[in-house]
């Protein structure tokens, strides 16, 4: 499961962050505001070390795709309401 949450203009709350869960255990974490992308389990760290293209993919999702999608969504919602 992948959970994403964000805020728009709220102090002390990241603009966007997400967590990747496998069987109820947090495997990865992304905080766009602090530019943090980190695996939270040893086996996940090992996968990313052995397959750097996976790390590139997650970095792109965390720092480019998701923030852009979120900004567009928030902008659209602000216009509607």
pTM of this structure: 0.77
> What is residue 46's predicted lDDT score, i.e. its pLDDT?
96
In this prediction, residue 54 carries a pLDDT of 94
Predicted pLDDT at 62:
92
Q: Which two tokens stand for residue 39?
A: 């695996």
The number of domains in the chain is 1
Instruction: Check residue 43 and give its pLDDT.
Output: 95
The residues with which 29 forms a beta bridge, in sequence order, are 19, 38
Q: What residue numbers bound the domain in which 17 lies? A: 2-80
Q: What is the pLDDT of residue 59?
A: 95
* CB 44, CB 27: distance < 8 Å: yes
Eight-class DSSP state of 40: -
Query: What is the mean pLDDT of each successive set of 10 residues along the chain, which is 81 residues long?
Result: 85 87 95 93 95 95 92 89 86
Q: How far apart are CA 62 and CA 54, in angstroms?
A: 12
């Amino acid at each position: 499961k992948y959970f994403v949450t964000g805020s728009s203009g709220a102090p002390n709350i990241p603009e966007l962050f997400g967590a990747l869960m496998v069987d109820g255990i947090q495997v990865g974490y992304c905080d766009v505001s602090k530019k943090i992308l980190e695996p939270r389990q040893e086996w996940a760290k090992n996968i990313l070390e052995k397959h750097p293209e996976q790390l590139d993919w997650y970095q792109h999702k965390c720092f480019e795709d998701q923030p852009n999608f979120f900004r567009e969504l928030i902008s659209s919602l602000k216009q509607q309401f």
